[in-house]
Structure 1
Amino acid sequence: MNRMQNWLAGIAVYRDRRVLAILVLGFASGLPLALTGQTLQAWLTESGTSLQAIGLFASVGTPYALKFLWAPLVDRLELPGLTRRLGRRRGWLIFAQILLIAAILGLGSTDPRDLLYLTALCAVAVAFASATQDIVIDAWRVEILEERQLAAGAACIVFGYRIGMLVSSAGALYLAGPLGWPMVYAIMAALVALGGVTVLLIGEPASRPREDAERRFREVSAWLEARPHLRGWVAKFAAWLYVGVAGPFLQFATRRGWVAVLLFVLLFKLGDSLAGALATSFYLKLGFSREQIAEVSKLYGFAATMLGLFMGGWLMQAAGLYRSLWICGILQMGSNLLFAVLALRGADLWFLAFTIGVENLAGGMGTAALVAYLSALCNVAYTATQYALLSSLTAVARTFLSSFAGFLAQSLGWPLFFVATAFAALPGLILLAWLTRQGAETRVMTKPA
């Protein structure tokens, strides 16, 4: 009876308007990623860009990996006009979306056949604005929810994220034929604004957790003011650096196993990232049409991902976080081997559907578990900076570590390449074994009453 009551309570949490708003924000967060990833990859392939150059384009996502560097600005800096009128989180989100819309329009106006470097620069600008938007959305999500809603928030942010990626990947592939790539990117730029409208309707998170950081800032500033050579703005700037920049990292470094935690976050999705870096090019070169890729890889794969998210949430409730990470990590590693079999079978549409279904199911489960894990690691007084640091590490695998996937595939061939991506998942599982044995601390958040 208690289990049934818990299950019903778990479903009821999704009716909260804050949780539903996170679904829309997840959509706005996921929309830009494919525009500099798989969708851009298809555009580059059709324009005749070499496989090596397409592989290097994975590095345009570098801002996702480095966003922790400017996350302290989002935590501490007030934007003239916007912060006073809308609040810190909402003001920053509107600012980031204005930048993002302009960058997407700029990317859509380029031509990779003539000025490939300009396409790359615009793609980096999209990634920078999108990473800034992600910093704000993640901080808003963690701060505005109660602890009992965090799992639902993690599921909704990923669910919305995947919908956004579906629209900007499968939707873009469908629309590119009749409309052309510039018009497709203009439509995607307009859809980004949905996130800003939603957060304006919901409101600003409670400021109590950040008040602790403000009090710490005043204390450090007063201490520095008492030093003979640190007066006025110098003391305040030094205090800002200490509290806003050093504070989040120093606080994170006080917990057990923090180095292993960071390495695990970096490597957990490495195998998936390597395989995904060239997935669209792999399908095209194997002989599948653009329409087949959209129907099977995007639409059918999307349904499998949604099922994976649901199963990931159920696993976290039934088996606990660490055990869920184990199950999802092993499934992710095994799913990559199916791509090697597909490479040997050729353009087999049914086996493509099976492979994509298993891979997206495992990926959805793993993503839900990982997002919940990252959320549990954050201290709410430094939400933007700490979550940006952790999520940046997941982006490192998707950008830096996977940017050489094209060279690896070129030298090994497709079957051996996907076997190598499966083995790339082993370091993350080894770290997970150590963390599980050590019982590394995760739940350190303090939510306001």
Structure 2
Amino acid sequence: MVIDARPRPGERAPMGHHHTKGRLALYLLLGVSAGLPLFMFSSILSLRLSEHKVGLVVIGFFAWVALLPTFKFLWAPLLDRVSVPGFGRFWGKRRGWIMLAQLGIFTSLCAMAFTATDRSLGVTALCAVLLAFWTTTLEIAADGWRIEIAPDQAEQGPIVAAYLWGYRSAMVVAGSGALIVADIAGWTGAYLAIAAGAFLPFPILAAMRPEGDGGGGRMVALATGLLASATILIGVAGATAAIGGVVLALAAGAGMSATTNVTPVVLLICLAPFVAMALALPAIRRAPADAPIRTSAAIGPYVDIFWRYGSGALVLLAFVSLYRMGDVLAMALAKPLVKGAGYTLTQMGLADGVVALAANMAGVGAGGWIATRWPQGWTLALGAMLAAIGNWAFVWLAHEPPGTAVLVIATFADQFGNGIAAAVFVVYLSMLVNPAWPGAQYAFLSGFAFLLPRLLAGAAGSMEASIGYDGFFLLSGGLSAASVLLLPLVMRVRARDA
């Protein structure tokens, strides 16, 4: 890779020189590219594992794959300072990373397709982690770019809506399409179909005009980029396998197995970040502008959040941790619940395709619209309560005889509520960041927002074994609704001037 700390001349040119239509079209495309893989390493994978008779507790452990995006702040600064050889020089730093990430997504999906028997859960886990890593890398590049070109709330609303329309629509289409294809051609066919769809934006990006003078020519840049990408993909896969082996050995040494109740341990781990941040806060607030912790390229963007917001940062992080709790927890067990209620893969796929797509688009559109017109506190409260109702709809579904109307109503409630919540939440997080470090700070805030929910999602199987499906979905919705109680405090938090 080539170190390049300076912005390239014309870095923002692909956004159509700030023309609104071009900007929205590009972010719709980026949303599609990032949204297609999401279910394939989460809810679709949990359903695939249950079909192969993997225990519910172990399926819950697989939800921890989704923890990886919460730590994206660890490599987000790299995307601001390093260009991908070939791709970066010709198409620009941001598009270069997007193209590399799409290659990573494609190869990871193909690997999951050809290991679809799940005979080796370790290999399945490795492929899922790689898919999560490259999907997250794509999101980091897109998020940093979005905040740079749309710095205020009025501009963020439409561009967030466009991105989420693409993202959540692709996510829903992938979920429904994968289930229908799996019913016809098996899980291998399903993952290969999604891989093909996820790769479609790559040739479109490759056909775009270059950044600057595009030195070297398109074909040379493409060949160099593909060779560098292959090297990077192999290196990342090898490192991931090595780290995974160490983690599994440590878990086995600690006596962790498929029968272990991990919920108490997970709850203690969830408290650790808040304790650590509270202890560090006094020193951060006293740090002068030239202090190493504030000027460091590695940690400076994250220290800045606590320096600006002080103790209010702990309130903000507690709020964002609760806000999307219901959506994340429901994703871990929703499809096993619906399948257990007597619905076929095709029925679930059709509901996810037609109903969920329409509900998502309506919810995201409504969320983007109200985020530009309503007071922030009211938009956040509405999103939280609708998301909670969507979770509680699964409790109702579980007690009704299987029927199309029941599945449609529950699916619509879940997807519409989560669509509104997602849109207003992205706008809210975007307004918290310092424009000096948009990519890194947004990566930290959005990653932390899902840290606690995804930790708990890994214990979903253990929780269901203790309190049942009813208790689990009542609790998950209640946690999302509880975030509203923090809103009076959250709305009083103000950033300190640098």
Normalised-by-shorter TM-score class: 0.7 to 0.9
- Taking structure 1 as reference, are residues 240 and 81 closer, same or farther at Cα in structure 2, changes over 3 Å only? farther
Deviations 1:397-433 (A, max 9, x none): 4521211112212221222222122222244222223
Shift of 1:333: 1.9
Out of 361, 376, 393, the residue aligned to residue 416 of structure 2 is 361
- Taking structure 1 as reference, are residues 111 and 362 closer, same or farther at Cα in structure 2, changes over 3 Å only? closer
* 1:31–1:165 contact (8 Å) kept in structure 2: yes
Q: TM-score, normalised by structure 2?
A: 0.74
Question: 2:158 & 2:489 partners in 1: Cα distance?
Answer: 28
Q: Which moved more, 1:388-397 or 1:76-85?
A: 76-85
Please say if 1:248 is aligned against 2:301. Answer: yes
Please say if 1:70 is aligned against 2:75. Answer: yes
Deviations 1:145-195 (A, max 9, x none): 464432111101111011211232101111123333223222322322334
* Amino acid in the other structure paired with 2:121: L
Structure-2 residue corresponding to 1:333: 388
- Taking structure 1 as reference, are residues 165 and 187 closer, same or farther at Cα in structure 2, changes over 3 Å only? same
Shift of 1:123: 0.5
Structure-1 residue corresponding to 2:379: 324
* 2:28–2:165 contact (8 Å) kept in structure 1: yes
Please say if 1:159 is aligned against 2:168. Answer: no
Question: 2:86 & 2:365 partners in 1: Cα distance?
Answer: 41
* 2:90–2:210 contact (8 Å) kept in structure 1: no
Deviations 1:367-419 (A, max 9, x none): 11001112222233322211111121233245212111122122212222221
- Taking structure 1 as reference, are residues 131 and 204 closer, same or farther at Cα in structure 2, changes over 3 Å only? farther
Out of 473, 476, 487, the residue aligned to residue 418 of structure 1 is 473
- Taking structure 1 as reference, are residues 88 and 381 closer, same or farther at Cα in structure 2, changes over 3 Å only? farther
Question: 2:306 & 2:194 partners in 1: Cα distance?
Answer: 39
Count of matched residue pairs: 399
* Amino acid in the other structure paired with 2:393: L
Matches within 5 A, 1:1-400: 16-145=21-150, 147=152, 148-199=154-205, 201=208, 242-256=295-309, 257-400=312-455
Question: 1:339 & 1:14 partners in 2: Cα distance?
Answer: 42
Question: 1:24 & 1:429 partners in 2: Cα distance?
Answer: 33
Question: 2:489 & 2:127 partners in 1: Cα distance?
Answer: 41
Q: Which moved more, 1:238-247 or 1:403-412?
A: 238-247
Shift of 1:14: 9.3
* Amino acid in the other structure paired with 2:103: I
* 1:62–1:400 contact (8 Å) kept in structure 2: yes
Please say if 1:433 is aligned against 2:439. Answer: no
**Once superposed, which parts of structure 1, at least 4 consecutive aligned residues long, lie more than 4 Å away?**
197-200, 202-205, 238-242
SS of the aligned residue for 1:80 comes to coil
Question: 1:81 & 1:241 partners in 2: Cα distance?
Answer: 33
Question: 1:202 & 1:402 partners in 2: Cα distance?
Answer: 43
In structure 2, list runs of 5 or more residues that go unmatched: 1-17, 213-290
In structure 1, list runs of 5 or more residues that go unmatched: 1-12, 206-237
Question: 1:382 & 1:60 partners in 2: Cα distance?
Answer: 27
* 1:19–1:156 contact (8 Å) kept in structure 2: yes
Question: 2:471 & 2:45 partners in 1: Cα distance?
Answer: 25
- Taking structure 1 as reference, are residues 319 and 149 closer, same or farther at Cα in structure 2, changes over 3 Å only? closer
Question: 1:115 & 1:289 partners in 2: Cα distance?
Answer: 26
* Amino acid in the other structure paired with 1:435: V
Q: TM-score, normalised by structure 1?
A: 0.82
SS of the aligned residue for 1:49 comes to coil
Deviations 1:278-330 (A, max 9, x none): 11100000111111111224421221121111221232233222210011112
Question: 1:318 & 1:242 partners in 2: Cα distance?
Answer: 37
Question: 2:389 & 2:495 partners in 1: Cα distance?
Answer: 28
Question: 1:165 & 1:80 partners in 2: Cα distance?
Answer: 30
* Amino acid in the other structure paired with 1:244: A
- Taking structure 1 as reference, are residues 196 and 386 closer, same or farther at Cα in structure 2, changes over 3 Å only? farther
